[in-house]
Structure 1
Amino acid sequence: MTFKLDRDTIRWGIIGCGDVTEVKSGPGFQKATNSALVAVMRRSGDKAADYAKRHNIPRWYDDAAKLIADPEVDAVYIATPPGSHMQYTLEVAAAGKPVYVEKPMARTHDECTKMVEACKRAGVPLFVAYYRRRLPRILRVKQLIDSGAIGEVRFVQHTLFQRPNAQEKTRDALPWRVIPELAGGGRFLDLASHALDVFDYLFGPVAEATGCAANQAKLYDAEDIVTGNWVHQSGVIGSCTLCFTTFDRIDRCEIVGSKGVITFQVIEGGPIEVWTAGGKQHYDDPNPLHVQQPLIQSVVDDLRGVGTCPSTGESAARTSWVMDRMLEEYRAGRHQ
């Protein structure tokens, strides 16, 4: 799709100015070149007004339809929980405006497909906030792989363990990330989506995937442990284990090649280590303060016709397809 906004500065509106927009993303729209954040929306007018005041944003709304219809809003960032991503995307597309939606893209691959199709019909681009595709350390890993530093890649393994937080231990105040109706599942969809999208970026689309999931701790209704296996079309084989009721936090990814191995943290950040016959090398590429800003800049450049964003609705939908396959048996059992 060829799309270009004939403007020097892309004017953004945000639907859902919650915690993720405070540092990770919101300021990125203000600090990116040729970008401005001009309006925000939250169902609580008081909270929307407070956000606008603190971040020096000209307008606020408590009605998404009014923000979408604002003639001075060129493009819309949807930063609500996944349960409303599809509906808001359809509404923004119908208004003829580009969409930048938080990850995971939606609760299921089917919802992702409907979002992609709606934006295609409307002739507007759809971008997804898989911002690791533009973080310095992930770009470093990609450069190491593409340069042949570890030879031909054979397989990738990702392990993520986390403790349950205080809210997850109290059913009266569960966070949305573990409520399937809002999130599509548990924390697996929220965090595994980042890793699986990185692997899609590094090794290309996945051809097949399977998984096993369970609810071991019974703190909430969603799955709290998932193991998965997949094969990329390129031939690279992958596996993962994510558990969210353990004693500590562990984040470890290994990319093993014919001549060496790269280890790094997908979620937490930290240094990259490369082991080869020649010894061990360390790389430290810290995240920017506003981690979404590099990807936001690529979206702005894409909308202005001077660059390309690497995270689209099509690429993000592939990640949701993989997660659906890993959760397929668990979801079927939960709904019997």
Structure 2
Amino acid sequence: MPSPPALAPSTVPDPMAAPRVRWGVLGPGGIANTFAEAVRAGTRSEVVAVGSRSAERADAFARRHGVTRSYGSYEELVADEDVDVVYVASPHSEHREHALLAVAAGRHVLVEKAFARSLRETDEVLDAARAAGVLAAEAMWSRYLPQYDVVRRTVAEGTLGDVALVQADHGQLLWPDGPRRLWDPALAGGSLLDLGVYPIHFAHHVLGGLEDVAALGVLTPEGVDATLGVTARRGGALARMTSTMAAATPCAALVAGSAARVELTGPGWFYGAATTVRLVEPGGSVVDTFAPEHPEHGFRYQVAEVARAVAEGRHEPWSVPWTATRAVMTVMDEVRRQVGVTYPGE
């Protein structure tokens, strides 16, 4: 009797086994707090400095996370010789400027998603990093997780048969009462760079590329996208990706093939540290599952991979290589072109 199909095992190393690097945090906002907690609790690395335009905010962040040095400017942060890698956690409208600042100071950079506002800005940063001989990585943290490794390897091994459909959605009720950066065109607002980047990255991760992109969108009175629907193709597989900041959605993802499907379930597949991967046969029977042994501090996986890359002299991580960052940004540029969203300077 043949063995039942099974998920591929994760090959992601233990984050605690990664070498130590010294981090500087640029922009002490909400996501930077999550990052600092993951560094401290889940890796051997350390946040040694923080920089903000507000000395008071930097000092408060430093006291909260036990960081020894705080600066009232980004320039002082990137000039700190004890900082190996700068984590750019400012709003994505400022990623290009702040990443270039760190690279010019000779620092490696991990830049929050979306990496920049456009492919043009992305290439500016990557070209500068290449010229400076430093690492530049996109902090699309879910792609560094064991769950994403399991899904990618399961698809690659042919366990699902011929992949026909990839679906992923990300919707949170963040507009019209959310932060200004989400509705202001001057700040590259909208759902795409903040939410839609997740399902697009997921589909790219699974299929290895996206072609024939088609998009529809509903825009706010200010001219940014409130809701987007994106379809794309890769070979015989269709990808359907949606994002909205006008409603909360299930935030589910699946990859369906002729022999089986994988489903990502939990408190939101994009918050993947606690996500369970299920392998489901066509009849609906769950034949295998994968859940992380330690689901807390999911950001630690990207911290650890960057540390390994720096130690090995690589300029990009394995999980989100520059080709992936560029490909996803190319899709997002095309989505904006089709729905009529432009950012400053375009």
TM-score (norm 1): 0.85
TM-aligned CA deviation for residue 161 of structure 1:
3.8
Tell me the distance in 2 between the aligned counterparts of 1:225 and 1:251: 14
TM-aligned CA deviation for residue 153 of structure 1:
1.2
Tell me the distance in 1 between the aligned counterparts of 2:39 and 2:64: 15
In structure 2, the partner of 1:251 is 251
In structure 1, the partner of 2:333 is 324
In structure 2, the partner of 1:311 is 320
In structure 2, the partner of 1:177 is 182
Indicate how the Cα distance of structure 1 residues 300 and 147 shifts in structure 2: closer, same or farther if over 3 A, else same.
same
Aligned residues: 318
1:193 match: secondary structure: helix
Deviations 1:261-302 (A, max 9, x none): 222243255433332157323525257322210111010011
TM-aligned CA deviation for residue 143 of structure 1:
3.3
- What's the RMSD between the two structures over aligned residues? 2.6
- Which amino acid counterpart does residue 181 of structure 1 have in structure 2? A
In structure 1, the partner of 2:270 is 267
- Which amino acid counterpart does residue 293 of structure 1 have in structure 2? R
Indicate how the Cα distance of structure 1 residues 288 and 331 shifts in structure 2: closer, same or farther if over 3 A, else same.
same
1:110 match: secondary structure: helix
Matches within 5 A, 1:181-200: 181-182=186-187, 184-200=188-204
Indicate how the Cα distance of structure 1 residues 128 and 328 shifts in structure 2: closer, same or farther if over 3 A, else same.
same
1:148 match: secondary structure: coil
In structure 1, the partner of 2:287 is 281
| 2:166–2:256 Cα contact (<8 Å) kept | yes
| 1:208–1:230 Cα contact (<8 Å) kept | yes
TM-aligned CA deviation for residue 311 of structure 1:
1.7
Q: Does 2:163 align with 1:153?
A: yes
| 2:219–2:226 Cα contact (<8 Å) kept | yes
| 2:112–2:138 Cα contact (<8 Å) kept | yes
Select the residue among 19, 28, 33 that pairs with 1:17: 28
Tell me the distance in 1 between the aligned counterparts of 2:79 and 2:157: 47
1:283 match: secondary structure: strand
TM-score (norm 2): 0.83
- Which amino acid counterpart does residue 176 of structure 2 have in structure 1? K
| 2:88–2:109 Cα contact (<8 Å) kept | yes
TM-aligned CA deviation for residue 19 of structure 1:
0.4
In structure 1, the partner of 2:5 is none
TM-aligned CA deviation for residue 82 of structure 1:
0.7
Deviations 1:118-148 (A, max 9, x none): 1111121111101112223222322332332
Tell me the distance in 1 between the aligned counterparts of 2:20 and 2:206: 31
- Which segment drifts farther, 82-91 or 287-296? 287-296
**Identical-pair percentage:** 24
Indicate how the Cα distance of structure 1 residues 55 and 268 shifts in structure 2: closer, same or farther if over 3 A, else same.
closer
Tell me the distance in 1 between the aligned counterparts of 2:31 and 2:343: 30
- Which segment drifts farther, 42-51 or 151-160? 151-160
In structure 1, the partner of 2:10 is none
Structure 2 alignment gaps of length 5 or more: 1-18
Indicate how the Cα distance of structure 1 residues 98 and 274 shifts in structure 2: closer, same or farther if over 3 A, else same.
same
Tell me the distance in 2 between the aligned counterparts of 1:283 and 1:169: 38
Indicate how the Cα distance of structure 1 residues 139 and 75 shifts in structure 2: closer, same or farther if over 3 A, else same.
same
2:61 match: secondary structure: helix
